[in-house]
Amino acid sequence: MRDILAPEADRWRRLVSTFAGLVEGAAYQFVMTPLMEDAEVFARVGEATDVVQKEMYRFTDNGGRDLALRPEFTASVCRAFVEQRPPTPWKVWMAGSNFRYERPQRGRFRQFDQVDIEVLGSDDPYVDVEVIALGWRFLRVLGLRRVELLLNSLGEVAERAHYVDALSEYFGAHADTLSEASRQTLARNPLRVLDSKRPGDAELIAAAPTIAEFYGPRSAAHFDTVRAGLDQLAIPYRVAPGLVRGLDYYVRTAFEFAGGTLDSAQNALGGGGRYDGLVESLGGPPTPGIGFALGVDRILIACDDEGVFAPTEPELDAYVIDTTGGAEALAITEELRQAGLRAGRVFDGRSMKAQMKSADRSGAAFAVIVGTSELDAGQAVIRPLRRDERSQSVVARLDLVSSLTTAIESES
Ligand code: AMP
């Protein structure tokens, strides 16, 4: 878990507001769910997954409740849907921290942030296309270019189950050639063996049965429409039959945005898929759903690697220097801020020289200076800080806001 300070924290917020602009422009509503849930909410949706089995921050509170910090958003959104029953299709977006007890490394943290969208109540394949396209668009808007969209369909529940049986049989028959770690995965969740990045397993995985052999006509048609929709929007993708994703509730569409600059174990900038059975498993009516989560921490690492979406310092319009005791600076900053200008000042009655230094460091466009003579004459000095200082002007104190506004406009 990390402290995130300026300018990184500011970039973080910009990323979330860029995301908000994009998804709110596509009619997704912002929602917030609690940071912790009844641990069962997560346990019920991901029994066989590492995220739930090994990585949850699970604890008993003072009232004896079995709680967990959320390791992801989707289960919480579905739980909220079951309790609140909003009209469908329910299109929502979220942003915030999730917690997983993983081994920390570059791109993998125990507290990490995600931005997320979910759509509940429609199984139209064009919803899948909209969701995937928004994720793709967002990464492009940030400036990322080395991103690959991986796409798969895991079939419907029964097809997926047949496939899991076939995989279990296949890997079981070749268990002696599998790595020890994959043998353990096989016992818990045969699909996840396909995720193994161990070189020894590669050949066996390449020759394993593929899910496409198990599609029925409905899931095949759904997948065809999703692909045709992405083609229509000219969004490039690669069909990746081995893409199963970490959470085991996905059916039909599954996708991932792989970053080109990160180590393969951490290269997923985000991903998602359909989870048509999830709401029902949490006690709600049968309700299809689809969504994605994108990892903010990891996206920002990818942005650094690609040299895009750089951190910026917040800019001030004015920095107020007052050598008469500080009350003038109090009045002026208040006036400027009420007029919508961004203004800073010095405290602690520093010398003129020290205050000028702070003003220079602040990166503000102008210094507003008030000394005893200006105070007596009802005036203030406006001095540009980003160019020749001799062009400073003396203005009437009463006209300060309008004079400064004019100066700012002529500067930009
Ligand atoms: P998931 O919920 O596992 O599908 O993860 C979605 C995205 O969240 C991943 O692609 C990562 O970008 C991000 N993510 C997941 N776990 C972590 C973590 N431990 N540290 C940083 N980012 C993570």
Atom 2 of ligand 1: nearest residue by CA position:
72
Architecture of domain 8-155+215-306: 2-Layer Sandwich (3.30)
The minimum-distance atom of ligand 1 relative to the CA of 293 is 6
The confidence score (pLDDT) of residue 351 equals: 94
The confidence score (pLDDT) of residue 264 equals: 74
Where are the chain's structural domains?
8-155+215-306, 318-405
What amino acid is encoded at 100 in this protein?
A: R
**Gap between the Cα atoms of 333 and 322, Å rounded:** 11
The confidence score (pLDDT) of residue 173 equals: 93
The confidence score (pLDDT) of residue 412 equals: 75
Q: Given this structure, which CATH class describes domain 318-405?
A: alpha beta
The confidence score (pLDDT) of residue 73 equals: 96
**Gap between the Cα atoms of 347 and 336, Å rounded:** 17
The minimum-distance atom of ligand 1 relative to the CA of 256 is 10
Taking the centre of ligand 1 as the mean of its atom positions, its distance from the CA of residue 95, in whole angstroms, is 13
For the chain, 412 residues long, give each residue's pLDDT as a single digit of tens: 999 999 999 999 999 999 999 999 999 999 999 999 999 999 988 776 778 888 999 999 999 999 999 999 999 999 999 999 999 999 999 999 999 999 999 899 999 999 999 999 999 999 999 999 999 999 999 999 999 999 999 999 899 889 999 999 999 999 898 999 899 889 888 888 888 878 888 899 999 999 999 999 999 999 999 999 999 999 999 999 888 876 667 889 999 999 988 777 778 999 999 998 899 999 999 999 999 999 999 999 999 999 999 998 778 999 999 999 999 999 999 999 999 999 999 999 999 999 999 999 999 999 999 999 999 999 999 999 987 666 899 999 999 999 999 999 988 7
The minimum-distance atom of ligand 1 relative to the CA of 114 is 8
The verdict on the CB of residue 266 being under 6 Å from ligand 1 is: no
The model carries a pTM of 0.92
Atom 14 of ligand 1: nearest residue by CA position:
295
Separation in Å, CA 281 to CA 40, 90, 139, 254, 377: 11, 18, 32, 19, 75
Taking the centre of ligand 1 as the mean of its atom positions, its distance from the CA of residue 242, in whole angstroms, is 18
Which of 242-259 are b and which e, b meaning 16 or more Cβ less than 10 Å from the residue's Cβ?
A: bbbbbbbbbbbbbbbbbb
Nearest to 151 by CA among 263, 247, 246, 272: 272
The verdict on the CB of residue 72 being under 6 Å from ligand 1 is: yes
- Edge-to-edge strand ranges of the sheet holding 393-396: 343-345, 318-322, 366-370, 379-384, 393-396
Residue 38 burial by Cβ neighbours in a 10 Å radius (0-12, 13-18, 19+): middle
| Residues paired with 383 in a beta bridge | 367
The verdict on the CB of residue 273 being under 6 Å from ligand 1 is: no
The minimum-distance atom of ligand 1 relative to the CA of 299 is 12
The verdict on the CB of residue 227 being under 6 Å from ligand 1 is: no
Taking the centre of ligand 1 as the mean of its atom positions, its distance from the CA of residue 329, in whole angstroms, is 47
